[in-house]
């Protein structure tokens, strides 16, 4: 495929000088792109590439669950910029291997990558579009587009791309404190905005007994209004009715033995906030809902100082352990914000976001070196990871499949940064097996729970306590082992992590599990009450249900063994 690779530049500025230098190494092609501009706003510049559509099955990208290889008149498309997404897209083969993994060295500039099937020539078209959103004036621009054609497992190509970003492109991740890698209780789905400090304290006592180590207090602490939306965001003053004395509340939670994080919607300034009049001329046009709230413009020094000081004072005054910094992807240039303003000290929005996050990180790290900072999809790319140490799957309440697939995708693309599931929730009248499915489908991430423990049945509490305990006991393997997963085109049929002769395996749709290591743990995430194990002859086996109760113990005698295990149960194998 590499030998048949063709490319050309389409579009761009009329008077721009464009140079492309091609380099090849180990079936990887690098195209070094250099643009010389006359201090003008860059127009959309497209690098169009063509390869034969041989062994071409599907598309993988970091967020998109639609994997079909679309025609070139309706291509699969990913969007990337500093505060949203990452520039990587992959063509998958029928054998589960990489056919072409495309990535870009510049993860800050707005970029689109598209792939599609050309019916006239049976070829795959790939387009890398630079400046997909309007940016500021430039005199020059440089970037490298990397095409990995190696016939290796698709996930190994993704891992290598992440290593390239980190080691050759200079995107080093933030330090990850220990508490970022421990289970958490997030109050959003369980409380929403109906917060009450007495109920929060009781919830923390209950969740600590189950093994949760941090509580995230979400939207609602800053307003008496419970109508959702962000019209009251911007002042970030404590609702005394809901929260009482914030410092006292946090002190009470610390006595329970839990860390405390607090939610902020970073960009939003609502029309009902007292600060709105002060900042109304420093807002990004056509953002928020463009009626009741807007996004602040970080290109103004006053905006950055206001926001970073808010977070600094929250940590200092209330003894918080971390912050959930939300909606960073809402910083977008549109409308009148594209016009110049001499009051700004930054022209580039991307540079201003970097400045805001850098100033925030510096202030908070001086107060607490192990401060917890959570970001969530889609602002989880290699550049933004310099500032946050927890990356969470985007909101998908009760959606097992999305939580599973996005959790695995985030693990592939996040290096050593702690990856968290979206908060787990379920209807309290559901079966304990269905509730357990929520947990085991995100077992390779740090679990966040968002159910009212007081309202759970004893059976659900037992299940949750068992699985949190199981996760903690196996945390090293689950988080530090190499994660592999089969059939990404189907939201993964199975996944496993391997570390130090131990493997933990979750079959999702494929009931046949092959065992390779001396110790194997199989979590039954299928909808069946059995798993067929291959390669475990003479292994000692123990089967438990989702409550941790032992169901059977025996020695496997056959190379292919059908083992009865209830849904969400576990098979322990030892050689």
Interval 240-249: pLDDT, tens: 999 999 999 9
> What is the model's pLDDT at position 24?
94
> What is the model's pLDDT at position 136?
87
> What is the model's pLDDT at position 401?
96
> What is the model's pLDDT at position 66?
86
What are the angstrom distances between the C-alpha of 216 and each of 118, 220, 308, 365, 376?
A: 48, 12, 20, 19, 14
Give CA 264 to chain center in angstroms: 18
What are the angstrom distances between the C-alpha of 81 and each of 105, 304, 496, 506?
A: 12, 20, 31, 33
pTM greater than 0.95? yes
Please tell me the distance from the alpha carbon of residue 574 to that of residue 135, in angstroms, as a whole number. 57
The answer to whether the peptide bond before residue 218 is cis (omega within 30 degrees of 0) is no
Give CA 339 to chain center in angstroms: 33
480 three-class SS: helix
> What is the model's pLDDT at position 221?
97
> What is the model's pLDDT at position 501?
97
> What is the model's pLDDT at position 65?
85
pLDDT in tens, the chain (575 residues): 777 899 999 999 998 999 999 999 999 999 999 999 999 999 999 999 999 999 999 999 998 888 999 999 999 999 999 999 999 999 999 999 999 999 999 999 999 999 999 999 999 999 999 999 988 889 999 999 999 999 999 999 999 999 999 999 999 999 999 999 999 999 999 999 999 999 999 999 999 999 999 999 999 999 999 988 999 999 999 999 999 999 999 999 999 999 999 999 999 999 999 999 999 999 999 999 999 999 999 999 999 999 999 999 999 999 999 999 999 999 999 899 999 999 999 999 999 999 999 999 999 999 999 999 999 999 999 999 999 999 999 999 999 999 999 999 999 999 999 999 999 999 999 999 999 999 999 999 999 999 999 999 999 999 999 999 999 999 999 999 999 999 999 999 999 999 999 999 999 999 999 999 999 999 999 999 999 999 999 999 999 999 999 999 999 999 999 999 999 999 999 99
∠ Cα 552 556 561 (to 5°): 95
Measuring CA to CA, which residue among 144, 80, 125 is closest to residue 107?
Answer: 80
312 three-class SS: helix
DSSP state of 59: E
Please tell me the distance from the alpha carbon of residue 144 to that of residue 80, in angstroms, as a whole number. 15
């Amino acid at each position: 495929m590499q030998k048949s690779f063709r490319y050309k530049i389409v579009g761009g500025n009329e008077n721009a000088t464009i140079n492309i230098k091609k380099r090849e190494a180990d079936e990887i092609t690098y195209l070094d792109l250099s643009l010389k501009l006359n201090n003008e706003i860059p127009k959309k510049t497209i690098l169009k590439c063509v390869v034969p559509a041989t062994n071409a099955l599907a598309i993988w990208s970091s967020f998109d669950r639609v994997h079909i290889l679309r025609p070139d008149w309706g291509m699969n498309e990913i969007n990337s910029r500093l505060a949203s997404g990452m520039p990587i897209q992959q063509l998958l083969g029928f054998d589960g291997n990489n056919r072409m993994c495309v990535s870009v060295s510049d993860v800050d500039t707005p970029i689109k990558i598209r792939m599609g099937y050309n019916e006239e020539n049976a070829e795959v078209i790939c387009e890398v579009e630079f400046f997909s959103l309007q940016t500021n004036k430039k005199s020059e621009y440089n970037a490298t587009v990397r095409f990995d054609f190696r016939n290796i497992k698709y996930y190994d190509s993704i891992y290598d791309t992440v290593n390239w970003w980190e080691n050759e492109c200079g995107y080093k991740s933030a330090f990850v404190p220990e508490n970022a890698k421990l289970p958490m209780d997030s109050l959003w789905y369980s409380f929403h905005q109906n917060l009450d400090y007495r109920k929060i304290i009781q919830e923390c006592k209950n969740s600590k007994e189950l093994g949760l180590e941090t509580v995230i207090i979400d939207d609602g602490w800053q307003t008496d209004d419970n109508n959702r939306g962000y019209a009251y965001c911007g002042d970030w003053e404590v609702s005394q009715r809901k929260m009482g004395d914030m410092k006292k509340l946090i002190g009470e939670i610390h006595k329970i033995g839990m860390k405390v994080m607090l939610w902020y919607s970073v960009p939003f300034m609502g029309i009902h906030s007292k600060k709105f009049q002060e900042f109304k001329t420093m807002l990004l046009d056509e953002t928020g809902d463009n009626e009741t709230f807007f996004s602040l413009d970080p290109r103004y020094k006053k905006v950055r100082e206001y926001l970073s000081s808010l977070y600094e004072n929250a940590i200092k005054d209330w003894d918080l352990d971390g912050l959930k910094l939300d909606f960073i992807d809402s910083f977008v240039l549109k409308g009148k914000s594209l016009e110049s303003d001499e009051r700004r000290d930054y022209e580039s929005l991307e540079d201003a976001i970097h400045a805001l996050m850098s100033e925030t990180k510096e202030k908070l790290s001086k107060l607490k070196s192990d401060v917890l900072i959570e970001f969530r999809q889609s602002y989880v790319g290699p550049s933004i990871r310099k500032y946050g140490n927890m990356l969470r799957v985007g909101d998908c309440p009760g959606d097992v499949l999305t939580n599973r697939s996005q959790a695995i995708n985030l693990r592939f693309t996040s290096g050593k940064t702690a990856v968290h599931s979206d908060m787990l929730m379920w209807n309290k009248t559901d079966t304990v097996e269905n509730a357990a499915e929520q947990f085991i489908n995100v077992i390779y991430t740090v679990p966040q729970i968002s159910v009212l423990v007081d309202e759970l049945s004893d059976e659900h509490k037992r299940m949750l306590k068992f699985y949190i305990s199981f996760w903690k006991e196996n945390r090293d393997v689950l988080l530090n082992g190499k994660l592999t997963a089969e059939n990404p085109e189907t939201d993964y049929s199975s996944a496993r992590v391997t570390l130090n002769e131990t493997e933990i395996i979750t079959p999702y749709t494929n009931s046949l599990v092959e065992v390779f290591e001396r110790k194997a743990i199989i979590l039954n995430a299928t909808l069946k009450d059995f798993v067929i194990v291959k390669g475990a002859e003479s292994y000692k086996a123990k089967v438990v249900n989702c409550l941790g109760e032992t169901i059977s113990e025996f020695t496997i005698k056959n190379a292919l063994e059908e083992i009865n295990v209830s849904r969400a149960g576990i098979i322990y194998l030892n050689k």
